[in-house]
Structure 1
Amino acid sequence: MKKETPSVVVIKEHNALVIHSLDDIAVRSGLSIGLPLANARAICPELTVYDADEAADAKTLNDIADWCDRFTPLVALDPPSGLFLDITGCAHLFGGERAMLQIICGALARRGFAVSGAIAATSVCARTLTRHSSGRIIEDGAETDAVAPLPISALGADDAITKGLRRAGLKTIGDVAARTRHEITARFGAAFTTRLEHALGQGDAPISPRKPLPDYIVEKRFPEPVTTEPMIAMTLQNLARMLVQAMDKQGKGARKLEAAFFRTDGAVRTLAVETGRAVTKPEVIDRLFRERLDALSDPLDPGFGFDLIRLSASRTEIVVQQQRDLDAHVHDNDELAALIDRIAARIGGKRVVVHLPEDTHIPERAALAASAQHHLAAASHAVWPARAEGEPPLRPLRLFERPEPIKVPFATVPDGPPHRFTWRRATHQVVRVEGPERIAMEWWQRDGKVLTRDYFRVEDEQGLRFWIFRDGLYDSELADEDGKPVPANWFVHGLFA
Structure 2
Amino acid sequence: MRRYLALYLPFLPSERAIRSGAAPRDTPFVLVEKAGGAMRVAAVDAAAAALGIPPGLTLTDARARIPDLVAVAHDPAADMALLDWLADACDRYSPTVATDPPRGVVIDITGCIHPFGDEAGLAADLRHRVERQGLSLTTALADTPDAAKALAAFGVRSVDALPVAALRVDAEIHQALRRAGLKTIASLARRPRGPLAARFGVATTNALERLLGEADPRITPRRHPPEIAVETRFAEPVAMTETVLATLDALMRRAAAELSDRSRGGRRFEAALFRSDGHVARLWIDTGQPTRDAGVLARLFRERIDTLADPLDPGFGYDLIRLAVPVTEPLVAQQLELDGGAVADAELAALIDRLTIRLGQGRVRRFRAGDSHVPEQAAFDLPIADTAPPVAWQIPEPGEPPLRPLHLFDPPQRIEAIAEVPDGPPFRFRWRRMLHEVRRAEGPERIAAEWWRHRRGAGMTRDYYRVEDQAGRRFWVFRHGLYGVERAVPEWYLHGLFA
**For this structure pair, what is the TM-score category when the shorter chain's length is used for normalisation?**
0.7 to 0.9
Which amino acid counterpart does residue 247 of structure 1 have in structure 2?
L
2:422 is aligned to: none
The reply to whether residue 268 of structure 1 matches residue 277 of structure 2 is no
Q: How does 1:147-158 map to 2 (within 5 A)?
A: 147-155=159-167, 157-158=169-170
- State the shift of 1:10 in Å: 4.0
**Deviations, residues 397-418 of structure 1 (Å, cap 9, x unaligned):** 43222222357899xxx95234
Within the alignment, does 1:452 sit opposite 2:474 as a pair? no
Pair 1:356-2:369 in alignment:
yes
Task: Give, as a single letter, the amino acid of the residue that structure 1 aligns with 2:447.
Answer: E
* Correspondence for 1:143: none
Q: Tell me the alpha carbon deviations over residues 344-364 of structure 1, each in whole angstroms, 9 at most, x when there is no partner.
A: 44432574213438784x653
TM-superposed deviation, 1:83 = 0.7
Matching of residues 17-166 of structure 1 within 5 Å: 18-35=40-57, 40-41=62-63, 43-133=65-155, 146-155=158-167, 157-166=169-178
Structure 2 residue 447 is the aligned partner of structure 1 residue 442: yes
Residue 211 (structure 1) aligned with residue 223 (structure 2)? yes
Q: When the two structures are aligned, how many residues end up with a matched partner?
A: 460
Aligned to 1:286: 298
CA-CA distance at 1:67 after TM superposition: 0.8
- Please tell me the residue identity of whatever aligns with 2:92: R
Distance 1:394 1:266 in 2: 59
1:467 aligns with 2:475: yes
Gaps of 5+ in 1: 139-145, 481-485
Contact kept, 8 Å, 2:409 with 2:496, in 1: the verdict is yes
User: 1:31-58, CA deviations, whole angstroms, 9 ceiling, x for partnerless residues?
Assistant: 3344455654554454433443222222
The residue type paired with residue 348 of structure 1 is Q
1:220 and 1:308 in contact (8 A); partners too: yes
Q: 1:306 aligns with which of 306, 318, 326?
A: 318
- How high is the TM-score relative to the length of structure 1? 0.77
Structure number with bigger Rg: 1
Equivalence map 1:176-191=2 (5 Å): 176-191=188-203
Which amino acid counterpart does residue 442 of structure 1 have in structure 2? Answer: I
CA distance in 2, matches of 1:120, 1:472: 65
Give the secondary structure class of the aligned counterpart of 1:416.
Answer: strand
Structure 1: distance between partners of 2:154 and 2:269: 41
Change (3 A) 1:371 1:44: same
Q: Does 1:320 align with 2:325?
A: no
1:84-111 CA deviation, whole Å, 9 max, x = no partner?
1112222231243223222212222222
Distance 1:394 1:165 in 2: 72
Query: Which residue matches 2:396?
Result: 385
Check 1:466–1:105 CA distance in 2 against 1; reply closer, same or farther (3 A cut). Answer: farther
Contact 2:405 2:498 in 1 (8 A): yes
- 1:483 matched residue in structure 2: none
Separation (CA, whole Å) in 2 of partners of 1:157 and 1:441: 57
8 A Cα contact 2:361 2:383, kept in partner: no
Secondary structure, in 3 states, of the residue corresponding to 2:324?
strand
When residues 194 and 495 of structure 1 are mapped into structure 2, their CA distance, relative to the original with a 3 A threshold, is: closer
Relative to structure 1, is the Cα distance of residues 28 and 166 closer, same or farther in structure 2, using a 3 angstrom cutoff? farther
Superimposed CA distance per residue, residues 167-213 of structure 1 (whole angstroms, 9 cap, x where no aligned partner): 33444433443444444434333333333343344443312211111
Deviation at 1:82, TM superposition (A): 0.7
Structure 1 SS opposite 2:427: coil
CA RMSD, Structure 1 to Structure 2 (Å): 4.0
Share of identical aligned residues, percent? 38
1: CA distance between counterparts of 2:303 and 2:263? 26
Q: Distance in 2 between matches of 1:428 and 1:303?
A: 66
Kindly state the Cα deviation for residue 474 of structure 1 after the two structures are TM-superposed.
12
Q: Distance in 2 between matches of 1:406 and 1:444?
A: 21
Note closer, same or farther for the CA distance 1:204–1:152 as it changes in structure 2 (3 Å cut): same
Q: Taking structure 1 as reference, are residues 299 and 397 closer, same or farther at Cα in structure 2, changes over 3 Å only?
A: farther
User: Deviation per CA, 1:133-181, whole angstroms, max 9, x where unpaired?
Assistant: 3xx8x7xxxxxxx233444444565432333333334444334434444
Decide whether aligned partners of structure 1 residues 359 and 434 sit closer, same or farther in structure 2, where only a CA change above 3 A counts. Answer: farther
Letter in 2 for 1:401: D
Contact 1:215 1:315 in 2 (8 A): yes
Distance 1:358 1:153 in 2: 52
Say which is worse superposed, 434-443 or 203-212, in terms of deviation: 434-443
Whole-angstrom CA distance in 2 between matches of 1:191 and 1:334: 57
* 8 Å contact kept, 1:151–1:171: yes
Q: Structure 2 counterpart of 1:451, which letter?
A: R
State the shift of 1:17 in Å: 5.8
CA contact (8 A) 2:428 2:438 kept: yes
CA deviation string 1:442-472 (max 9, x = no partner): 1354845353244444588xx9x67363635
Does the CA-based 8 Å contact 2:480-2:492 persist in structure 1? no
Structure 1 residue corresponding to 2:31, chosen from 2, 9, 23: 9
C-alpha distance in structure 2 between counterparts of 1:182 and 1:439, whole Å: 69
5+ residue gaps, structure 2, are 1-23, 420-424, 451-456
Structure 1 letter corresponding to 2:443: R
TM-score (norm 2): 0.77
Q: Which has the higher contact order (CA 8 A, sep 6+)?
A: 2
Shift of 1:14: 6.7
Letter in 2 for 1:211: R
**Paired residues of 1:11 and 1:19 also in contact (CA < 8 A):** yes
Structure 2 counterparts to residues 250-269 of structure 1, below 5 A: 250-269=262-281
Q: Distance in 1 between matches of 2:325 and 2:260?
A: 13
Superposed CA offset, 1:298-355 (max 9, x none): 4433344322221011122443334334243333333333433443444325742134
